[in-house]
Amino acid sequence: MFKLDARPVFVHTPGAPYQPGASVIIHASEESGELDVSKHFGRHGVVEYLEYSCGCGQTYPGDPMIAVRFPAGDIEEFWRGEIRSEGGNDG
C-alpha cells in the first residue's frame, strides 16, 4: 500500500485531477473553510503542488488539496471543484 509522508507533491501524479504546472482559473464563489474563495473568483494561476496530508479528508491520488500560485507569488489551496483548467479540459 502506498504511504504518503507530510510533504507536498511537486511531481506528476497519475490519477490526480490536476498536475503541478497546469494553468487554472478559480471558479468557485462560495466560502471554503477559512479561505473565502469568492475573493479569488476568476483569478488565473498555476498549480504549484498537491497536498494529501493536511487533514482535510484528502484521498490519494484523486482528491488532493491543490495549491495554486498566483502571478503576485501568493499561494492558496483549493479543492478540485473550486478550480478549472485554463485549457477547458477540467481535471
pTM equals 0.82
> What letter does residue 20 receive in the DSSP assignment?
T
**CA 52 to CA 79: how far, in whole Å?**
11
- How confident is the model over 7-40, as pLDDT tens digits? 899 999 999 999 999 999 998 645 555 556 678 8
pLDDT at site 6: 60
Q: Is the sign of the CA dihedral 13, 62, 25, 35 positive or negative? A: negative
Domains of the chain: 23-85 (2.30.30)
**CA 24 to CA 64: how far, in whole Å?**
15
pLDDT at site 1: 40
Contact (Cβ atoms closer than 8 angstroms) between residue 46 and residue 21: yes
